Each structure stands twice: as C-alpha cells, then as structure tokens.
Structure 1
Amino acid sequence: MSQKVIGLIGGMSWESSAEYYRVVNERVRDRLGGLHSARCLMWSFDFAEVEALQHAGRWDAAAALMVEAAQRLERSGADFLVICTNTMHRMADEVQAAVGIPLLHIADPTAERIRAAGMRRVGLLGTAFTMEQEFYRGRLRDRHGLEVLVPGDEDRALVHRVIYDELVQGRVEPASRQAHKEVIAHLVERGAEAVILGCTEIMLLVRPEDSPVPLYDTTVIHAEAAVDLALTGP
C-alpha cells in the first residue's frame, strides 16, 4: 500500500510533537504490519519564539511563521499538513490559504468521535487562547453542533499556567494532576458529558482515571486521523 507523506508542523512544544511522531508510526505499523512506519516530514519550531509572539498578542507574526513552515513542508513533498498543537489552529485558515495541499484540522476528527459516541455537551481544556477565543470552540459549535463548556476564570488561569510553566517544560506535577481532576469535576457538575483535552500537552498530565466522563485526547485523535488520511486513496 502506498502512503501519503504527512507534513507535521511541530515544536509547539516538542514534548507533544514527540507523541505525534510516536503515534503516527505505531498506527502505521499496526495497520500495515512488519517493519512499516510512517512517511512523514516535520518542521519543528523553537517554541520560545512562538510563545513570545502568543503572549504578546502578535498573531500576525505567528501566522507568518506558520505559513512559512507549511510552505517548506509542501515544497519538501508533504501531501497534507498537520499542525501539532491546538492553539496554533488560530491561524489554520491562513495556513490553508497559503498552500495547495490539505490541512487536517485538529478539531474535526475530535468532534466526529464525540458525535459518533452520541454526545453533544463537552468541556474544553486548553490554553487560555483555545478556551476563550472563537477559533476553536466556535468550530466545534458551528461545524459540528457541539455545546462547549469552558472552565470558570480561576480554573482557566490554572490550566493555562500549568501548560506553560510545567508541561511544555517537561514537568508533570502530582499537585497539578489533582487540580485538573477538580477542574474536570466542575465541568461535569455543569453537565459536560465528555471533556476535550484541547492542548496537546495535557495528555501528559491527565489520565482516563482522572475523569468521571470520557476524555478525548486531541493529540492521539489527530495523529490517528492523519494515518487514516495517509493510508487512503491513491
């Protein structure tokens, strides 16, 4: 079976990008057997540069970096693109418009799995940008008909802080895991039937047993959808 070449835009952070690389290769091996692995290319950012632009609100400059990365991957032979982070899907439309190959949006396969399970009201954890801005929860609502609940002010601040101060630096703290369990419990109390781990690092901290409702890990779901696309068609 021929494989399409997956173009991975990573390094935001490299910890979660390493999970993408692991999952796409494991799933290809599972599907094709033997010594098979994924045909993929990765452009990996220096995350300090990206993080500085995020927190300065310089989204146009961040978009220019993303477009450049996408075009590099297209020129190198990628057949489609995967942005290995939820937050930077803020500029997904700009990236797609700048290349001639498809972009596999992280929210779409996640929403499809949730709808297939018969759920409509979901909690969303991620960076403050992902939880508060419309680029992500608006897509879940408008394209997929999901009702999206986000944590309250204090819980949002906690989740955002843990991502940037701990997880993207490779730190997994038991106290933060307990705090996230409480954040999830608050969402469930408000009616969440499931919770989207809408930051590709949160899966390093939160486990299925930490939640009374199903957790949807966008890292794994996105990577698996990339393999599905890579192994279909000519």
Structure 2
Amino acid sequence: MVVTFNDLGSAAGLKKVDEYLLSRSYIFGYQASKDDITVYAALSGAPSASYVNVSRWYNHIDALLRISGVSGEGSGVTVEGFAPAEAVATPPAADSKVAAAENDNDDDVDLFGEETGEEKKVAEERAAAIKASAKKKESGKSSVLLDIKSWDDETDMKKLEKEVRAVQMEGLLWGASKLVPIGYGIKKLQIMMTIVDDLVSVDTLIEEHLTVELINEYVQSCDIVAFNKICKYSKF
C-alpha cells in the first residue's frame, strides 16, 4: 500500500494528512519509519494546533528525532515534489570481520606448521577488529540537531545540503533534514546527525568542516539546536 500526499504547505494538504492520521499513530504500521521522516521533512514547520492529529503526530516524531532517531523501513509513502527521506540514527550492521572473529574457532589453524603470510594477515586483521570492537563497546553516542543558515535567498540549498552530507568521518552518521524559512526568502537547513562521542567532536566538525570549508560560498552560521546523549552501545 502506497499513500501519496500533495502540497503539504496548503490547508487542503494538511487536512488530508490530518484525516489520514485520525486513527493512526504513524504513517504506516506501529512504529516510526522512513515514511514518517518523509512527511515530517516535507513540512515547513510545526503545523497549526487546529490540525489536531497532524500536530500530535508531528510533535511525537520531532521528539523521537531529537532523542533516539527512527529506523523503521516504511512502506513507501510519497509526497509530491519531495524526495523520500533517509531514516536516522540507524546503526549499520556489525563488521563482518568482527563477527567472523567472534565465531571462529582454532580448528583451522595448523599449530605445527609455519604461519603463512596470508594467515598472518588474517590474524592481524582479526586482532585489529576485536580491538576496535572492544573500544566501541566503551563508547556512547549522541543525537545532534544542527541549524545551518545560508547567506541569502540566492543560495542553492540543495547543493548546500549535498556539501554538508559530503563531510564524512568515522563515527558520524547524517540523518533526516528539512529546510525551514527564516524570513525574506532565506532558508536554513535543519539536519540531524548521530555521532560516536569518542570519535567525533561536534565543535571540531562545525569549526573545521561545516563553517571553515563552506563559509565563503554557502554557510553564514552553524548552530547546535539540540544535543542528546542516547546510550551506551556495542555497534555503530
């Protein structure tokens, strides 16, 4: 089942969503998913309280994004003129080498023969993977919401977001985003990210990557709107 919503910036569009959510907690199913992120990101901001169901749903999804993220796959909701959003704060599957290291036994090791170059390489990779896994088990992660403001109304916001997401480093996962009008035709990019606390410094990320590298052409300022510790975990 695929649902299509039209023109969420209009009263008619919001009314349709409000009626749709009358008997539902989420766009599809019983947990937040990519479908909820798609509709959430397509809205320009919090809907009027007169749209009771949409307002209730929006506030709930907004709270999930600020605290823990959304990982459900969804069923493919479509908002005309808006691309489906990525789920946020979803840790990737564990490294296959780590899994292999945990499940391997010593039956395949020739204790009486000379270690070959390939065996030595496998052993080193296994030791490194286990060491990295142990380190990550001691780390926590945080959910961070950023406001990235453009210089003027002529800034290509799609290109700005592309440049922001191009910033990659170990322990950083970009999540959902949306454009929010701030006046005089100027918009800001509001974007979620999940970080491994021991690997990513938010101040360094902002000062050395998001502002210094992009300041001249795209970014006027970058501010932290929300910073929430999520949990201790064993995978990222």
Q: What's the TM-score, normalizing by structure 1?
A: 0.29
Q: What's the TM-score, normalizing by structure 2?
A: 0.28
Q: Please identify which structure carries the higher strand content.
A: 2
Return the index of the structure with the highest Cα Rg.
Answer: 2
